[in-house]
Structure 1
């Protein structure tokens, strides 16, 4: 095996579980990926994957060994890259950031504008992703995450707590009334998540605490839930930093939902923490978001919203 791309192909198929998904990951067409895999198997005289129904590719013992070796090589390659970038003292170049849709929509972009004014030589590439991108594999340099990082190689800081509350259009509140102190949802039309959002903690809480028949509108986008609430569709369960900053909706219960209290973290790989671009982003954007702690934690008064 003389070509690193052969190893990358085997690793991608093993990770993605199909040739189609692997070809998309590598940016090549399906027929090219198929020809390269067949040529590699012929060259080695060994079958690397079993083709199962539904297009699933399951690695054989030989395929698993090659994929494991490729992963070790990838780890070394990425570590070398992080080591080089980690010593970069230039306030110029590319900086890849990942954030959720809601944070980017409501708060982050203002701070990115401030960062641009402070450091015009740095080009920010923002990936709006609700899935967790790998900082070890350099899918992003910096992540803004709603959970404390668990991976030992990551480094970051907590910016604020994150509170969730119920929001609705003023016209809806005038017709149906606000929630009681007990926050009982009886008689209210609710905006919720679709089935694909079953892994979201707020979606799980809503499924346990509200009758399915009460949910009159479903979407996997929190931004769209906000827009639906603004249009008077019903009550939406939103992060307070999203709802309290939007003049088209009002909080309909004084206290946030205690069970949904979360956190906002800014995270990078430990190897990149001393990179000038990363430090600058932590200083400008991270500190800017941290100064909005009251908004994130739902402590901004709701009287001005009614």
Structure 2
């Protein structure tokens, strides 16, 4: 093998189990990826993937061996890249950051504006994504996450705990008996919730345990949209306090945060990037800025 792009293609197809998804990941069109993979198999004289129904590509033994070799090469290249980047003491260049839609909408962007004013040579690319992106593979440089990182090669800190509460428009509450004193009164209200089948989000799991299934009148996979729905008078929405308490048009339906539902906000990067000047600057400006809003995140404002 003398072409790294061939190994990248095999690794991408193996990871995605799909030629279409692999082509998108590599920023090539499907026909090009198909032609390259077919030419590689012809040249090697071995089938690397079995083509199954539904467009699924399943690696053969030869394909698995090649993908494993490609992954080892990728790991070495990424480690070298992180090592060199970690020695970069310049306050300029690109910095890729990821956060949830809710945090980006509500609190983060104002701190990014301060960072931009303080360090104009750094270009921030914000990836708004609720999925956990891979810091080891440099999918992003810095992640703002709602959970404690489990990977041992990450470096970061907890910025705040995150409280949740129920919110509604003042008009809705006036028409439906006013504020609640506890969660036991939720069943008589119209509830806004997550889309069916949402299990990986703690707030969605908590709601499914506390509120009857037939109490939900509106569902959305976006917390920002749930906020808009509550503001429009559709019903009660369970929102993080940093979102609900900072928005006009909604008030707490229950004065205290939801019991037993408390998350966290972490800022993390790969440990190899500790010495990168723009990473440390981001921690200092944006991380500290968010930490100073701890009372809002923890529902005490």
CA distance in 2, matches of 1:16, 1:75: 18
State the number of aligned residues: 300
Shift of 1:198: 2.8
Secondary structure of the residue aligned to 2:72 is helix
Tell me the residue number matched to 1:81.
81
Alpha-carbon deviations, 1:185-223, whole Å to 9, x = none? 121001111126332111121122212211111110000
SS at match of 2:157: strand
Give the deviation of 1:273 after TM superposition: 1.2
Alignment-derived partner of residue 248 in structure 1: 249
Between the aligned partners of 1:161 and 1:27, the Cα distance in structure 2 is: 39
Tell me the distance in 2 between the aligned counterparts of 1:154 and 1:230.
39
Distance 2:229 2:213 in 1: 18
Look up the SS of the partner of 2:139 in the other structure. coil
Encode CA deviations 1:132-184: one digit per residue, 9 max, x unaligned: 11111101000000001100111000000001110000101111121223443
Other structure's SS at 1:66 match: helix
CA RMSD of aligned residues (A): 1.0
For 1:23 and 1:65, how far apart are their aligned partners in 2? 21
Q: Check whether the contact 1:172–1:232 (CA below 8 A) recurs between aligned residues.
A: yes
- Stretches of structure 1 that go unaligned for 5 or more consecutive residues are 301-306
Distance across 2 between alignment mates of 1:183 and 1:251: 16
Report Cα offsets for 1:21-51 as digits up to 9, x if no partner. 1111111111111111111111111111111
Kindly report structure 1 stretches of 4+ aligned residues shifted beyond 3 Å: none
Aligned to 2:271: 270
2:64 equivalent in structure 1: 64
Which residue of 2 is the match for residue 43 of structure 1? Answer: 43
The residue that corresponds to 1:212 in the other structure is: 213
| TM-score after normalising by structure 2 | 0.98
SS of residue matched to 1:152: coil
5+ residue gaps in structure 2? Answer: none
Q: TM-score with structure 1 length normalisation?
A: 0.96
Match of 2:22 in 1: 22
Paired residues of 1:159 and 1:293 also in contact (CA < 8 A):
yes
Q: Distance in 1 between matches of 2:69 and 2:184?
A: 55
